[in-house]
Amino acid sequence: MSAVRMDGKALSAKVRGSILAETEELKKQGVTPGLAVIIVGNDPASEIYVRNKERACEQCGFYSEKYALPEETTQEELLGLIAQLNESPAISGILCQMPVPKHISEQAVIDAIDPKKDVDAFHPVNVGKIMVGNFDFVPCTPAGVMELLDEYKIDPKGKECVVVGRSNIVGKPMSMLLLHRHGTVTICHSRTQDLAEVCRRADILVVAVGKAGFITPDMVKEGAVVIDVGINRNAEGKVCGDVAPEVMEKASYMTPVPGGAGPMTITMLMKNTLKAAKLQNGIR
């Protein structure tokens, strides 16, 4: 048996098409979604992400602004820019690309963004809303994973769901979304005892640890759904995930890397920005 490859690229194109159609309708009402992206310093990986976000804005018919600030930008200057963007009627969503230079507090940056424009869903207000299940925005990677599960008609209800990784960006919100959909959720991390045994219980296994090939076939139940959120480079410099490719032979569904969960992340950012524009203009 070989797993069905969950094609994030195809789903991403489909979702962006529907976002573009909705944006065209909004524009008829005089509303154009606008995204401001801020990048501080020159981190090559961040620069690639920012370029991809700009391209996605074009594809979805959004207005976008990019602020590339020098490495020596002070925290005060950055927070001043965010305050301006919070007030700008042209901007529906604000995203500050992480990591920021060490002299700037990431938490201070997250806290400064108006929760109604926090399309990354990292602000404590939005994190709290995810916890209680009454949310407007969801962090983009977990949102993309849920969209993939829905596309392939995989319902977490009543299933054993194991999330490997407890980051604020993926692991924690991912577990809450699965819980809201009636999955029985276990979160694993570096101090979990007998990790392989816990993973083998999973009907749905979501992996976000940032270690190439970390999950091996012996850690996966026959017929499990495996979502690989990791993006790493192996010894040969090739892009690979947190799950060893051989797991394909054991799983029923699996996301490839690249082309699985990755393309969905930026598309969900576009979906959040569209939603922000509608909420700010009283459109449901």
- Taking the C-alpha atoms of residue 150 and residue 173, their distance in angstroms, rounded to an integer, is 17
Output the six-digit token pair for 64.
């976008």
pLDDT for the residue numbered 145: 98
**227 annotated binding-site participant:** no
Task: Give tens-digit pLDDT for 203-258.
Answer: 999 999 999 999 999 999 999 999 999 999 888 889 999 999 999 999 999 999 99
Output the six-digit token pair for 253.
């569904």
Domains of the chain: 30-114 (3.40.50.10860), 140-262 (3.40.50.720)
CB hemisphere CA count around 141 (13 angstroms): 22
CB 109 within 8 A of CB 100: yes
**167 annotated binding-site participant:** yes
Task: Give tens-digit pLDDT for 214-228.
Answer: 999 999 999 999 999
pLDDT for the residue numbered 49: 85
Q: What is the pTM of this model?
A: 0.95
Output the six-digit token pair for 136.
């407007």
pLDDT for the residue numbered 114: 98
| Letter string b/e over residues 2-29, b meaning 16 or more CB atoms within 10 A of that residue's CB | ebeebbbeebbeebbeebeebbeebeee
Output the six-digit token pair for 141.
């990677």
Ordered per-residue pLDDT tens for the chain, 284 residues: 799 999 999 999 999 999 999 999 999 999 999 999 999 998 888 888 889 999 999 999 999 999 999 999 999 999 999 999 999 999 999 999 999 999 999 999 999 999 999 999 999 999 999 999 999 999 999 999 999 999 999 999 999 999 999 999 999 999 999 999 999 999 999 999 999 999 999 999 999 999 999 999 999 999 999 999 999 988 888 999 999 999 999 999 999 999 999 999 999 999 999 999 999 999 98
**2 annotated binding-site participant:** no
Give me the residue label for tokens 């074009």: 58
Q: Please give the single-letter amino acid code of residue 126.
A: N
Catalytic residues, by residue number, are: 53, 97, 120
